């Protein structure tokens, strides 16, 4: 089918060639060439992936899993192929362990909702201090519903989780441990192998939020022995509104369905409904069909470039940018762990991050400012927020230079 | 004699029309921020913070001879400039005139981007809050 064979990618890592894949990178913002450094919020989409969206709607669009007609069967096949791509990418044992959702937030809520049925008063849930709001609120709601208690693994000044305290929080009351693989606000890579092993030691399940890791590394859920792993397509060169949940078969069988609706039932009568098997039990209603298929294409695109090449190049960018930025007097970087990805959260002394972000935007540089949906981290550092520059494999050292020059200019204008 | 809100806005439009590029505009706004009539510390409370801004903005309103006097502060300097511009047009005016005032001049002085949903959340909330004060004082006048 043209939909899939249309994906042609350059095998050698050459950033100038790669940039040609991304039409948006050649646009101007406020009269200046766009320097897109907000990749941790959402990544850009290569033409090969955009083509799949167009191809899907031009040639295959139909509802899936229910039609006998050819279009519906083709669309169903494509959607199920996408699930297989996600399975292969994350190295899940079974394809029915992959639930396609609307994104990380949706995946987390699915699990949190399911645990309502499994927790009782006094059970404990451990979350990390580095969490995104989407990973805090569902657990607070779960605790409200069940009477379970939320415990927090604190962080240190470098933005790393304190493992000694984690050890001391674990007990036979611990039923669930949740942490992100990589912090969106600081870029810290958390020691999830250790966290998972220790949690399993007390019989607790572990959910890892991979929203920020999947753009940079390729997680192997079997090697990690993780119980649940979640991610969003839009941070991996894919479309918004689609994401994944990996759950070990035994866990997904234990959890009750999340939403009721079409696709998730086996038989319905007014007396009793039996639910469909995995994965459909968790996929009520018409899913984001195009989104799922395009997610598969985005995974293909990133794998064709290669995660080793991506990580090596991004680390080079990170080192280069860190060094250049630190030369600016009064600039402080938050999140200084040796284990981090290409995210730099920083502030200029005596200057509000919002002011800097506003000036940078005028200069064509897109960064995020604010608390990055992680207010507890900002409270820890006693700051209103940070300026966050996050780099992807299609960014260049020249763009880092523009960032640095722009920060200097902002500093001059603002102080 | 009160200078009308419209006249003040025209004055501001004139001032901004002298600038050639965004840089001069922003530099001027930053300077205006430095001259903002500052809120008295006792009013710099959480309940006087305007919600919906990325930076903190405090506003206080007082009635003097049937006119409202605004003072404010912010922890971000560009925000201070924006609120200074608003306050310059709204301060020492009758509540009724504030309620009816048009704020389209923001667009004309090249600060339209602050009216966008993300940014101007800030600006839009500020305008709303200033007008709310005016509504509150207007009811007192009756
Ligand atoms: C660590 C982390 N978790 C969760 C999310 C939420 O992802 P989504 O909005 O795609 O559901 C994000 C997105 O910013 C994130 O960075």
Collapse the DSSP code of A10 into the 3-class scheme (helix H, G, I; strand E, B; otherwise coil) and give the result. Answer: coil
Closest by Cα among A366, A326, A351, A323 to A412? A351
Q: What is the ipTM of this complex?
A: 0.90
What pLDDT sits at residue B2? 81
Neighbouring C-beta atoms of residue A99, cutoff 10 Å: 27
Residue of B nearest to A373 (CA): B54
The stretch B91-98 carries a mean pLDDT of 96
| A319 vs A45: CA distance, rounded Å | 25
Q: Which of A352, A369, A414 sits opposite B75 (nearest CB)?
A: A352
A-facing residues of B in 70-129 (CB < 8 A) are 75-79, 113, 119
Q: In ligand 1, which atom is closest to the CA atom of A235?
A: 10
CB contact under 8 A, A354 and B27: no
Residue A150, strand partner residues: A125
Rounded to whole angstroms, the maximal C-alpha distance in chain A is 72
What spacing in Å lies between the alpha carbon of A248 and ligand 1's midpoint? Answer: 22
pLDDT of residue B110: 80
Find the farthest-apart pair of alpha carbons in chain B and give their distance in angstroms, rounded: 46
- Count of CB contacts below 8 A, A vs B? 39
Question: CA–CA separation, A114 vs B104, rounded Å?
Answer: 50
Q: What is the pLDDT along chain A (415 residues), one digit of tens a residue?
A: 445 544 555 557 899 999 999 999 999 998 999 999 999 999 999 999 999 999 999 999 999 987 789 999 999 999 999 999 999 999 999 999 999 999 999 999 999 999 999 999 999 999 999 998 877 899 999 999 999 999 999 999 999 999 999 999 999 999 999 999 999 999 999 999 999 999 999 999 999 999 999 999 999 999 999 999 999 999 999 999 999 999 999 999 999 999 887 778 788 888 887 888 999 999 989 999 999 999 999 999 999 999 999 999 999 999 999 999 999 999 999 999 999 999 999 999 999 999 999 999 999 999 999 887 788 899 999 998 999 999 999 999 999 999 999 999 999 999 8
| Whole-number average pLDDT of chain B | 90
Tracing tokens 């968790």 back to the chain, one arrives at: A282
Report the predicted TM-score, pTM, of the whole model to 2 decimal places. 0.92
pLDDT reported for residue A177 = 98
pLDDT for res B121: 62
User: Taking a C-beta distance cutoff of 8 angstroms, is the pair B99, B51 a contact?
Assistant: no
CB A186 within 8 A of CB A130: yes
Q: Which of A352, A359, A413 sits opposite B55 (nearest CB)?
A: A352
CATH numeric code, B5-141: 3.90.1010.10
Contacts of A369 in chain B (CB under 8 A): 54
User: Contact at 8 Å (CB) between B20 and A353?
Assistant: no
Q: Beta strands A273-275 and A331-334: pairing type?
A: unpaired
The whole-number pLDDT of residue A7 equals 52
Ordered by start, the domain boundaries in chain B are 5-141
Is domain A15-46+306-414 classified as CATH 3.30.450.30? Answer: no
User: What is the pLDDT, as a whole number, of residue A2?
Assistant: 45
CA distances from A36 to A33, A357, A400, A405 (A): 9, 13, 10, 15
Position B73 pLDDT exceeds 90: yes
pLDDT of A1 = 46
Task: Supply the pLDDT for residue A8.
Answer: 53
Instruction: Write down the pLDDT at residue A3.
Output: 54
CB A188 within 8 A of CB A335: yes
Indicate the helix (H) or strand (E) that contains A249.
helix A249-254
Evaluate whether A15-46+306-414 and A53-303 have a shared fold: no
Contact list, B54 vs chain A (CB under 8 Å): 354, 369-370, 385
Q: Of A339, A334, A335, A376, which Cα lies nearest the Cα of A191?
A: A339
Residue in B29, B53, B86, B111 annotated catalytic: B53
Boundaries of every domain in chain A: 15-46+306-414, 53-303
Cα–Cα distance list, A270 to A66, A254, A273, A282 (Å): 22, 24, 7, 21
Top residue of B21, B30, B76 to mutate, by most chain A CBs within 10 Å, is: B76
Query: Which candidate, A402, A410, A405, places its Cα nearest to that of A37?
Result: A402
Model pLDDT, residue A201: 98
Q: Which residues of chain B are within 8 Å of residue A358 when distances are taken between CB atoms? A: 26, 78, 119
Give the separation between CA A51 and CA A7, rounded to whole angstroms. 8
Q: Which fold has domain A53-303?
A: 3.40.640
Angle between helices B5-17 and B77-90 (to 10 degrees): 140
Tell whether A354 lies on the interface with B, counting CB pairs under 8 A.
yes
- B115, pLDDT greater than 70: no
CB neighbour burial string for A361-373, b if at least 16 within 10 angstroms, e if fewer: bbbbbbbbbbbbb
Q: Do A352 and B76 touch (CB under 8 A)?
A: yes
Token pair of B88 as six digits: 């310059």
Positive or negative torsion for Cα A99, A101, A104, A107: negative
Question: Which token pair is B38?
Answer: 């500052």
- List, in sequence order, the alpha helices (H) in chain B: 5-17, 22-34, 77-90, 95-100, 105-108, 121-141
A112 exposed, middle or buried (CB, 10 Å; 0-12, 13-18, 19+)? buried
What span, in angstroms and rounded, lies between the C-alpha atoms of A343 and A227?
A: 27
Question: CB–CB of B77 and A369 under 8 A?
Answer: no
Task: Transcribe A132-158 into DSSP letters.
Answer: -GGGTHHHHHHHHHH--EEEEE-B-TT
Instruction: Say whether A214 is catalytic.
Output: no
Q: Could you tell me the two tokens for A346?
A: 């920083």
């Amino acid at each position: 089918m043209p939909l899939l064979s249309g994906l042609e990618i350059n095998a050698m890592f050459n950033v100038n060639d790669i940039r040609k894949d991304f039409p948006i990178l050649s646009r101007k913002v406020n009269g200046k060439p766009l320097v897109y450094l907000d990749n941790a919020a959402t990544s850009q989409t290569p033409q090969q992936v955009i083509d799949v969206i167009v191809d899907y709607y031009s040639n295959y669009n139909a509802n899936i899993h229910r039609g006998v007609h050819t279009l519906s069967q083709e669309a169903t096949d494509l959607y199920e192929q996408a699930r297989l791509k996600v399975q292969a990418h994350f190295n899940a044992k079974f394809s029915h362990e992959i639930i396609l959702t609307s994104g990380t937030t949706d995946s987390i809520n699915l699990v949190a909702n399911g645990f309502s049925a499994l927790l009782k008063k006094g059970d404990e849930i451990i979350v990390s201090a580095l969490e995104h709001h989407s990973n805090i609120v569902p657990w607070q709601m779960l605790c409200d519903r069940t009477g379970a208690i939320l415990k927090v693994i604190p962080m240190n000044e470098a933005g790393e989780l304190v493992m000694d305290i984690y050890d001391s929080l674990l007990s036979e009351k611990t039923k669930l441990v949740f942490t992100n693989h990589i912090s969106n606000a600081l870029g810290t890579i958390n020691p999830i192998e250790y966290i998972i092993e220790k949690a399993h030691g007390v019989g607790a399940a572990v959910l890892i939020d991979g929203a920020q890791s999947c753009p940079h590394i390729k997680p192997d859920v079997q090697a990690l022995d993780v119980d649940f792993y979640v991610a969003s397509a839009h941070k991996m060169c894919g479309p918004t509104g689609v994401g994944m949940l990996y759950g070990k078969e035994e866990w997904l069988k234990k959890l009750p369905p999340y939403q009721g609706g079409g696709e998730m039932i086996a038989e319905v009568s007014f007396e009793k409904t039996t639910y469909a098997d995995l994965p459909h039990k968790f996929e009520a209603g018409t899913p984001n069909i195009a989104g799922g298929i395009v997610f598969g294409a985005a995974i293909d695109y990133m794998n064709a470039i290669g995660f080793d090449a991506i990580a090596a190049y991004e680390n080079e960018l990170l080192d280069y940018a860190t060094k250049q930025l630190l030369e600016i007097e009064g600039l402080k970087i938050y999140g200084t762990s040796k284990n981090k990805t290409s995210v730099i959260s920083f502030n200029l002394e005596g200057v509000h991050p919002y002011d800097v972000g506003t000036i940078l935007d005028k200069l064509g540089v897109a960064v995020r400012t604010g608390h990055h949906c992680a207010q507890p981290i900002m409270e820890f550092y006693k700051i209103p927020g940070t300026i966050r520059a996050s780099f992807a494999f299609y960014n260049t050292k020249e763009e880092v230079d523009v960032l640095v020059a722009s920060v200097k200019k902002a500093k001059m204008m603002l102080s | 004699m009160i200078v009308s809100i419209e006249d003040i806005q025209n004055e501001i439009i004139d001032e901004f029309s002298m600038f050639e590029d965004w840089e001069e505009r922003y530099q001027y706004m930053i300077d205006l921020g430095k001259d903002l009539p500052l809120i008295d510390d006792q009013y710099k409370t959480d309940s006087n913070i305007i919600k919906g801004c990325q930076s903190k903005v405090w506003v206080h309103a007082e009635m003097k001879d049937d006119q409202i006097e605004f003072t404010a502060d912010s922890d971000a300097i560009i925000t201070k400039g924006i609120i200074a511009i608003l306050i310059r047009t709204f301060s020492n005016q009758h509540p009724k005139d504030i309620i009816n005032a048009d704020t389209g001049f923001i667009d004309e002085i090249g600060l339209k981007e602050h009216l966008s949903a993300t940014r101007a959340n800030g600006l839009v909330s500020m305008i709303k809050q200033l007008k709310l004060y005016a509504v509150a004082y207007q009811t007192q006048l009756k």
